């Protein structure tokens, strides 16, 4: 098809140039990044092995629970990939500046669409590919899966990310084609709100009434598993992939092939629908996004948002101007606030359901597991949040970064402003999560203050890491946040953040479990180890949060803008 060869050749040259740039990087940096990635994968293997082995070794119901974990994994992941792909497809299909260049060339519009579709698939699923590999390898080793299971893993990854992106693309192509571009945000927001209301209604009518009357673990698991039947509906694609993986794990090749073929065939049908929609709708939709706007503009002293932001005038004028600019850009960018709402929704669902975890049975082992899992979940959500939203901040200044260089502010002031502003928000969110969830879990006073203190340190380290690395590896030529995060610096930020969080939590989890559960430590030794853990945690957080900021300041100050 016309233009496909040229686009493929261009992408190959771009990929080759990226490889050459990596080869030109200092050896020490390459070794450091490789070591961090290896360390993260080792931790992932250990954690997944511990978790899945815990379920598998439960008498009688262990293997069934492990299979239920696979159903949950694919169901939640399918939904999350679809939601993420909706936002990514919208920004990747219509926002990039290179589209104007591509449409001006003798390239078939469907080829351009396919090119952007492949990019959307990669941008929305790279984290799943990175985290999913150790999960499946551990699952296969515990289930003693046949050798061909490992050979099939690349096909499982490739096909599974295809259908969520294809469904999301159909939604976006249809919405942009038949809904006014200026109203598309309201349309998607209304659809998301309707979904939240439906889930809230379903929870209260079917789940809450049967889970809450009793709090023992046996009844909780029995009721919980009974309600997972919704994830096994024959028409739900996540169930097909889970069934195929479970069949492959047990060596049932025929069952694995049948369900995999069904998922793959559905993906091809969805791709064919995309192909037909792209023929008549992709270019017209792009033209619609370029139409003039009739949106009212308000002077600084009028408008609801402007009036709210007047409170920031208490700050020094340069700092206030930068903060107001960042807030307005965030609100006007659909890809930013829509994914922000997804994160908020995830946190809301998490907090709302945390009160249903049985905690009153008096089992200290269970109490500690849930408390540290709560801390881990909160920290990992914060890690993803900071990587997604804070790392692109400097890069989103774009080609106009030279204007800031001429303004009466220094790059050091700009970076510190972004660090301080976002640190206030992240600390507020993290402490709210830890305080509310600790009250729900009824944790001990020691664990309460430990988790709240760790939340503060983790927030500081993650914000400094993301803003700092975003300053060290800026990409001023790209205006798509998803693409910026998917680059070299974003991947380094993601891996480093996860390793940092895991190390920090293990510093406190290991001595606490040895003292409370195994009772292998004396009280004096336990307090000594916890004191050392606090010292190490403070040093780690300072190094993780401050060093990237210092290097990022120097990098921008020496830049030629």
Q: pLDDT for 165-206, tens place per residue? A: 999 888 888 877 776 655 666 666 676 667 667 666 665 665
Residues 282, 154 share a domain? yes
pLDDT (average), residues 316-324: 75
Query: Is the pLDDT assigned to residue 217 strictly greater than 70?
Result: no
Q: Is the pLDDT of residue 453 over 50?
A: yes
CA distance 322 to 313: 11
Listed residues 258, 291, 324: the one ending a domain:
291
Of 178 and 8, the structure prediction assigns the larger pLDDT to 8
Residue at 330 is within a domain: no
User: Domain for residue 17, yes or no?
Assistant: yes
pLDDT tens per residue, range 33-65: 777 777 777 877 887 887 778 777 777 667 777
Considering the domain architecture, whether residues 377 and 279 belong to the same structural domain is answered as no
pLDDT at 310: 66
Is residue 359 pLDDT above 60, yes or no? no
Tell me the per-residue pLDDT of 67-91, one tens digit each, with 9 for 90 and over: 777 888 888 788 878 877 887 887 7
pLDDT tens figures, 93-103 = 887 778 888 88
Give me the pLDDT at residue 264, please: 92
Q: For residue 46, which of 153, 163, 138, 139 has the smallest C-alpha distance?
A: 138
Whole-number pLDDT of residue 369? 77
Q: Model's pTM, two decimal places?
A: 0.66
Lowest mean pLDDT across 93-107, 423-437, 444-458, 522-536: 93-107
Torsion of CA 343, 172, 116, 160, to 10 degrees: 60
Q: What pLDDT, on a 0 to 100 scale, did the predictor assign at position 307?
A: 65
pLDDT at residue 475 in the model: 81
Residue 343 has pLDDT above 80, yes or no: no
Residue 187 resides in a domain = yes
Q: Which of 139-153, 332-346, 516-530 has the largest mean confidence?
A: 139-153
Q: In the predicted model, what is the mean pLDDT of residues 102-113?
A: 83
274, 402: one domain? no
Confidence (pLDDT) at 536: 92
Q: Are residues 365 and 286 in the same domain?
A: no
Q: How confident is the model at residue 215 (pLDDT cuts 50, 70, 90)?
A: very low
Is residue 454, in this structure, part of any structural domain at all?
yes
pLDDT in tens, 409-441: 778 888 888 888 889 888 888 888 888 877 777
- 253 and 156 both lie in a single domain: yes
Note the pLDDT of residue 269: 92
Q: Is residue 66 part of a domain?
A: yes
- Pick the last residue of a domain from 248, 269, 291: 291
Please report the pLDDT score of residue 346 as a whole number.
Answer: 67
Q: Check residue 522 and give left, alpha or beta (phi > 0: left; psi -120 to 50: alpha).
A: beta
Residue 54 and residue 200 in one domain: yes
Tell me the C-alpha to C-alpha distance, in Å, between residue 476 and each of 275, 396, 401, 473.
32, 7, 8, 10
Q: What is the pLDDT of residues 58-67, one digit of tens each?
A: 776 677 777 7
The pLDDT of residue 211: 47
pLDDT at 327: 77
Same domain for 264 and 391, yes or no, is no
The answer to whether residues 285 and 375 belong to one domain is: no
The answer to whether residues 172 and 250 belong to one domain is: yes
pLDDT > 90 fraction of the chain, expressed in percent and rounded: 6
Average pLDDT on 255-268 reads 91
3-class secondary structure per residue, 408-475: CCCHHHHHHHHHHHHHHHHHHHHHHHHHHHHHHHCCCHHHHHHHHHHHHHHHHHHHHHHHHHHHHCCC
- Higher-pLDDT residue of 457 and 482 is 457
Same-domain check for residues 223 and 368:
no
Average pLDDT, the chain: 77
Indicate left, alpha or beta for 405 from its phi (over 0: left) and psi (-120 to 50: alpha): alpha
Higher-confidence residue of 503 and 399: namely: 503
Predicted confidence (pLDDT) at residue 218 exceeds the cutoff of 80: no
pLDDT higher than 70, residue 358:
no
Specify whether 29 is located in the same domain as 169: yes
In a domain, 314, yes or no: no
Asked whether residue 478 is assigned to any structural domain, the reply reads: yes
The burial class, CB within 10 Å (0-12 / 13-18 / 19+), for 47 is middle
**pLDDT band with cut points at 50, 70 and 90 for residue 26:** low
Do the domain assignments include residue 480? yes
Domain count of the fold of the chain = 2
Tell whether the model's pLDDT for residue 225 goes beyond 50: yes
Where does a domain end: 244, 276, 291? 291
Tell me which residue range forms the domain holding 117. 1-291
């Amino acid at each position: 098809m016309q233009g496909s060869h040229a686009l493929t050749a261009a992408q190959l040259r771009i990929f080759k140039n990226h490889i050459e740039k990596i080869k030109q990087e200092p050896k020490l940096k390459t070794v450091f990044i490789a070591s961090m990635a290896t360390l993260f994968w080792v931790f992932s293997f250990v954690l997944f092995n511990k978790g899945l082995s815990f379920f598998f070794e439960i008498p009688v119901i262990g293997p069934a629970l492990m299979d239920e974990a696979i159903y949950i994994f694919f169901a939640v992941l399918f939904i999350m990939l679809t939601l993420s792909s909706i936002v990514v497809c919208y920004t990747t299909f219509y926002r990039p500046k290179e589209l104007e260049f591509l449409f001006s060339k003798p390239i078939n519009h469907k080829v351009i669409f396919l090119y952007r579709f492949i990019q959307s698939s990669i941008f929305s699923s790279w984290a799943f590919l990175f985290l999913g590999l150790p999960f499946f390898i551990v699952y296969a080793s515990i289930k003693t899966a046949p050798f061909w299971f490992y050979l099939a893993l690349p096909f499982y990854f490739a096909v599974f990310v295809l259908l969520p992106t294809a469904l999301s693309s159909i939604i976006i192509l249809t919405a942009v084609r038949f809904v006014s571009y200026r109203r598309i945000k309201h349309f998607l927001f209304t659809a998301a709100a309707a979904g939240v209301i439906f889930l809230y209604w379903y929870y209260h009518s079917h789940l809450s009434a049967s889970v809450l009357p009793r709090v023992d673990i046996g009844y909780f698991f029995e009721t919980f598993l009974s309600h997972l039947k919704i994830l096994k509906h024959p028409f739900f694609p996540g169930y097909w992939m889970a069934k195929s993986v479970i069949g492959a794990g047990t060596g049932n090749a025929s069952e694995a092939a049948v369900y995999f073929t069904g998922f793959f065939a559905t993906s091809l049908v969805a791709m064919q629908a995309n192909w037909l929609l792209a023929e008549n709708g992709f270019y017209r939709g792009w033209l619609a996004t370029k139409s003039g706007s009739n949106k009212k503009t308000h002077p600084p002293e009028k408008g609801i948002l402007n009036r709210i932001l007047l409170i920031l005038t208490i700050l020094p004028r340069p700092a206030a101007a930068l903060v107001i600019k960042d807030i307005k850009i965030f609100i006007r960018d659909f890809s930013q606030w829509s994914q922000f709402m997804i994160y908020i929704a995830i946190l809301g669902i998490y907090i709302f359901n945390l009160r249903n975890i049985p905690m009153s049975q008096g089992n200290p082992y269970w109490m500690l597991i849930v408390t540290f899992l709560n801390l881990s979940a909160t920290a990992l959500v914060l890690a993803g949040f900071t990587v997604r939203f804070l790392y692109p901040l400097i890069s989103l200044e774009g080609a106009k970064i030279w204007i800031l260089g001429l303004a009466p502010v220094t790059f050091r002031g700009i970076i510190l402003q972004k660090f301080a502003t976002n640190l206030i928000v992240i600390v507020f969110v993290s402490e709210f999560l830890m305080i509310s969830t600790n009250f729900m879990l009824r944790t001990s006073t020691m664990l309460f203050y430990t988790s709240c203190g760790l939340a503060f340190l983790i927030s500081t380290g993650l914000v400094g890491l993301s803003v700092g690395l975003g300053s060290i590896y800026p990409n001023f030529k790209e205006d798509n946040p998803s693409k910026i995060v998917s680059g070299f610096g974003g991947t380094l930020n993601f891996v480093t953040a996860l390793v940092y969080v895991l190390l920090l939590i293990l510093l406190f989890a290991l001595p606490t479990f040895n003292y409370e559960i195994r009772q292998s430590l004396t009280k004096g030794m336990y307090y000594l180890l916890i004191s050392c853990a606090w010292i190490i945690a403070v040093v780690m957080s300072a190094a993780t949060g401050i060093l990237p900021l210092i290097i990022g300041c120097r990098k921008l100050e020496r830049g030629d803008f």
